[in-house]
Amino acid sequence: MADPLPAYFVRALAYVDWSAADAATLRACEPVLAPAFEGFAARFYALIDRDPHARRVITGGAPQIARLERTLVAWMTSGLRGPLDAAFYARRARIGQRHVEIGLPQEYMFTAMNGLRADYTARLFAEVADPERVAAMVLAVDKLFDLELMIMLHHYQLDSEQRLIERETAARQEKLTAMRTLSAGLAHEVRNPLNAATLQLELLERRLRRGAADPKLTESTDLIHHELGRLTRMLNDFLAFARPPDLTAAPHDVGALVRGVVEVERAGAAAAGVELTAPAGGAAVRARVDPDRLHQIAQNLIRNAVEATPAGGRVDVEVAAGPRGAELRVRDTGPGIPPEVEQRIFEPFFSTKPAGTGLGMSIVASLVAAHHGTIEVDTAPGHGTAVTVRLPAVED
């Protein structure tokens, strides 16, 4: 069964005022236009062959052009026959993805589509004598080509957004590399005196216990011990951030791994009065991941979401197959993230928590990047937050 029509295409159908009458009119166009389709296709690729920039996407010479001409005839035929349903959209989406993959510049796609539109229009005016009938046919053809262009442009837009995310991820990784170097040096300098201080405190506590220790002194040592423990935990965060993650990645069912994390975190969420939902079962959603590192990613995201959600709210954890691989989404019903905080959320050492180190989300971003994935935050004050991690699919 084909997937439902995406929301943007449903809006596009409404925008061009697509109707059953338009569909019937297009079907009536086929006997007029179909005899000319082979000529349209030959002219289409002759124009591409004449332009050196456009010709670069044709690497197989005359045999490939012959195949492409047959494919174009089938495309034109299916466009007229319809229906413009989910199966139609899926076929068009594959074509749009292919145009992006081969690097066809958008300007050639626009010019080519408009050339075909002109061919259709000229043929209709030449073959149909009734002015009202030809006007209705041209209008239906225009709507069809507008919808075809919307699908093509949507996939160019998706590619542009993906490239922007990848550039932002690369820039963030450059900053993280510099901060890791600083953190590693700082952690090394701090660890030795911290260990020495902890050892001396333990010796002092033993001496106090052997004698009649003043309770005020033991209270002080307990406080010092607590603070040294807190510094040790912070130092461990620094070291986790400073050391690039060493992955042992293999194909795994991301949904099953994440469901395990949810079960571990469920008690903590319940104690905070937050409902925590697990990803739905069903077909495996596979990606090449390190299970321990994925556990760390999911656990950090879930804990952040629970902390951000007031009692009575909920955190939904979802895993699904996306167009480029596995997608993990953690969505909360909290107050959302203010814009000035959102733009710094992956910045090392930035935290809005009084006792936070500001390294949690930086470590998550680093682990996601190590998996060659991406991470996005969708939030608005008063409307909650959704964090989406995309992990590349397992190659067959």
Q: What is the pLDDT of residues 342-382, one digit of tens each?
A: 878 877 666 776 666 667 787 888 889 888 898 999 988 88
Determine the longest span between alpha carbons in the chain, in angstroms: 114
- CA-CA distance, 210 to 67, in Å (whole number)? 91
260 and 236 both lie in a single domain:
no
**Structure confidence by residue, pLDDT tens digits, 225-240:** 778 887 887 777 777 6
137 and 53 both lie in a single domain:
yes
117 and 193 both lie in a single domain:
no
Residue 1 lies in a domain: no
Domain ranges, residue 36: 7-166
Q: What is the mean pLDDT of each run of 10 residues along the chain (396 residues)?
A: 73 92 95 94 80 67 80 90 88 78 71 88 94 95 92 81 74 71 71 82 79 69 81 74 75 93 94 92 86 92 93 94 87 89 76 67 85 89 89 75
131 and 199 both lie in a single domain:
no
13 and 160 both lie in a single domain:
yes
Q: Which residue among 166, 182, 203 closes a domain?
A: 166
21 and 155 both lie in a single domain:
yes
Q: Whose structure tokens read 């190659």?
A: 395
Residue 331 lies in a domain: yes
The pLDDT of residue 356 is: 61
176 and 131 both lie in a single domain:
no
Rounded to two decimals, the pTM is 0.49
Question: What's the structural domain count of the chain?
Answer: 3
177 and 29 both lie in a single domain:
no
**Structure confidence by residue, pLDDT tens digits, 129-181:** 999 999 999 999 999 999 988 888 888 787 777 777 777 777 767 776 776 67
Which tokens is 367 given? 């682990």
Report the candidate in 300, 312, 313, 314 with the shortest Cα–Cα distance to residue 264: 300
Find the CATH number of the domain harbouring 293: 3.30.565.10
172 Cβ neighbours under 8 A, 6+ residues apart? 346, 365, 369
39 and 106 both lie in a single domain:
yes
Q: Whose structure tokens read 């439902």?
A: 4
118 and 188 both lie in a single domain:
no
The pLDDT of residue 1 is: 41
The pLDDT of residue 394 is: 74
Report the candidate in 232, 236, 355, 370 with the shortest Cα–Cα distance to residue 292: 370
The pLDDT of residue 349 is: 67
- CA-CA distance, 327 to 255, in Å (whole number)? 9
Residue 2 lies in a domain: no
Q: Which residue among 149, 166, 183 closes a domain?
A: 166
